[in-house]
């Protein structure tokens, strides 16, 4: 069965070829048994922007400034969307889950507490790992969670270690997405599932403000179209089982960031300068992102895939 990707209508909402079920945020979903790859492939998308070193993004995402701007969970939809992803993955008690690019540990702690999973959280930022461990130490009735420093392109686990892999709003920042996904597949057991949420974009339609290194760190410049993410997953050997759009969640996060930028300009200029970020130039980027979101050029997507047994 070929994948039917949502088509934006003139109001910027997603309208698939067949009537889908509505999501809680009003956006539709698309169900798949098997998805076929569509051009352009992921390399076509990622070649449009210059790659930034992984440590650059890690340093930024480990900062208190990003925590201020993005909030506790670091991704559109917050923990509400994380819960939905976990349910779509069918997580069961005692299953071993890899939370890749775990940030400060919100998702890992939720999966352990609410789904009784064993969770290994990995992040490239030492600051994030330390803060996640601190939250774990302070958490009540949460066990079987660990956090470690690691590179997604070189996972420190044997083959077929995990029942599920979760990665939220992070793959878009990876310079070598194909290698990272290949590693995820390697550590998944046969029949294991991968749950992905990320910014989706049409790279050839992005305005110049959204193709800079700063925009890459902001999860825009390195984003792929939905068909591009499917291509990366399927090339690595996964079968895509479900696709959903959650574009309103992306717009709500833009609202949140704009509201908090004013506070950051007053209280965090020095920290932003240390990270190489100019808060005064954030306005044009935010405006461009909002226009792109209103036309369907940028949004937020959810995918669930399975490694064949």
Which tokens in the block code for residue 67? 């925590």
- Tell me the percentage of the chain whose pLDDT exceeds 90: 50
Domains of the chain: 26-306 (3.40.50.150)
Whether 211 shows a pLDDT value over 80: the answer reads no
d(CA 277, CA 55): 15
pLDDT interval class at 74 (50, 70, 90): low
In a 10 Å sphere around its CB, with 0-12 CB exposed, 13-18 middle and 19+ buried, how is residue 124 labelled? buried
Q: Which residue has the higher pLDDT, 34 or 117?
A: 117
Does residue 187 surpass a pLDDT of 90? yes
Lookup: tokens for 92: 């069961």
What is residue 49's predicted lDDT score, i.e. its pLDDT? 30
- Which is it for strands 239-245 and 298-306: parallel, antiparallel or unpaired? antiparallel
pTM: 0.75
Residue with tokens 């925590």: 67
Q: Which of 20-29, 91-100, 192-201, 238-247 has the lowest mean pLDDT?
A: 20-29
Contact 100, 164 (CB under 8 A): no
What SS3 class is residue 69? Answer: helix
Q: Which two tokens stand for residue 105?
A: 């540990």
Quick count: other Cβ atoms within 10 Å of Cβ 276? 12
276 has a pLDDT exceeding 80: no
More confident call, 9 vs 233 = 233
Nearest to 110 by CA among 89, 125, 124: 89
Q: Is the pLDDT reported for residue 232 higher than 90?
A: yes
For residue 275, what pLDDT is reported?
A: 63
Edge-first strand order for the sheet with 188-201 is 29-31, 239-245, 298-306, 188-201, 162-168, 96-100, 118-123, 145-149
C-alpha 145, offset from chain centre: 21
**The pLDDT of residue 256:** 82
Q: Is the four-CA dihedral 166, 167, 169, 172 of positive or negative sign?
A: negative
Residues 172-183, mean pLDDT to the nearest whole number: 94
Query: Encoding tokens for residue 29?
Result: 């979903």
Which residue is it, tokens 């449009």? 48
Please give the biggest Cα pair distance in the chain: 54
User: Does pLDDT of 242 surpass 80?
Assistant: yes
Structure-model confidence comparison of residues 136 and 216, the more confident one: 136
19 pLDDT higher than 60: no
Beta-carbon contacts of 266 under 8 Å, excluding residues fewer than 6 positions away, are: none
Mean pLDDT of 143-166: 96
Q: What pLDDT is recorded for position 39?
A: 33
Is 103 a residue whose pLDDT tops 80?
A: yes
Mean pLDDT, residues 102-116: 95
pLDDT band at 51 (very low <50, low <70, confident <90, very high): very low
What per-residue confidence (pLDDT) applies to 15? 35
Per-residue confidence at 143, pLDDT binned at 50, 70, 90? Answer: confident
User: The tokens of 94 are what?
Assistant: 């005692």
Number of H helices, E strands in the chain: 12, 10
Q: Is residue 126 very low, low, confident or very high in pLDDT (cuts 50, 70, 90)?
A: very high
Q: What is the pLDDT of residue 274?
A: 72
> What confidence score (pLDDT) does residue 215 get?
57
Q: Is the pLDDT of residue 112 over 80?
A: yes
Residue 258's pLDDT is 77
Euclidean distance between CA atoms 24 and 68, whole angstroms: 26
Query: For 259-281, what is the mean pLDDT?
Result: 72
DSSP reduced 3-state for 131? helix
Q: Residue 290 pLDDT > 60, yes or no?
A: yes
Mean pLDDT lowest among 175-184, 196-205, 278-287:
278-287
């Amino acid at each position: 069965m070929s994948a039917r990707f949502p088509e934006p209508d003139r109001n910027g909402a997603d309208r698939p070829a067949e009537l889908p079920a509505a999501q809680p945020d009003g956006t539709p979903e698309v169900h798949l048994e098997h998805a076929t790859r569509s051009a352009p492939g992921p390399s076509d998308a990622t070649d449009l922007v210059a790659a930034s070193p992984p440590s650059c993004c890690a340093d930024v995402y480990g900062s208190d400034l990003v925590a201020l701007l993005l909030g506790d969970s670091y991704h559109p939809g917050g923990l509400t969307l994380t819960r939905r992803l976990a349910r779509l993955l069918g997580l069961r008690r005692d299953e071993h889950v890899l939370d890749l690019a775990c940030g400060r540990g919100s998702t890992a702690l939720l999966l352990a507490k609410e789904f009784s999973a064993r969770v290994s959280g990995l992040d490239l930022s030492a600051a994030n790992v330390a803060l996640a461990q601190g939250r774990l130490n302070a958490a009540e009735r949460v066990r079987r969670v660990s956090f470690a420093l690691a590179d997604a392109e070189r996972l420190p686990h044997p083959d077929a270690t995990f029942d599920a892999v979760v990665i939220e709003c992070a793959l878009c920042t990876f310079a070598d997405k194909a290698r990272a996904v290949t590693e995820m597949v390697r550590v998944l057991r046969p029949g294991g599932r991968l749950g992905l949420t990320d910014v989706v974009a049409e790279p050839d339609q992005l305005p110049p403000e959204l193709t800079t290194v700063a925009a890459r760190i902001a999860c825009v410049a390195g984003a792929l179209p939905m068909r591009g993410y499917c291509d990366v997953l399927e090339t690595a050997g996964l079968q895509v089982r479900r696709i959903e759009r959650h574009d309103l969640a992306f717009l709500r996060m833009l609202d949140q960031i704009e509201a908090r930028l004013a506070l950051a300009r007053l209280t965090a200029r020095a920290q932003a300068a240390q990270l190489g970020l100019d808060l005064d130039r954030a306005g044009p980027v935010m405006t461009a992102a909002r226009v792109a979101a209103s036309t369907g050029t940028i949004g937020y997507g959810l995918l669930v895939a399975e490694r064949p047994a």
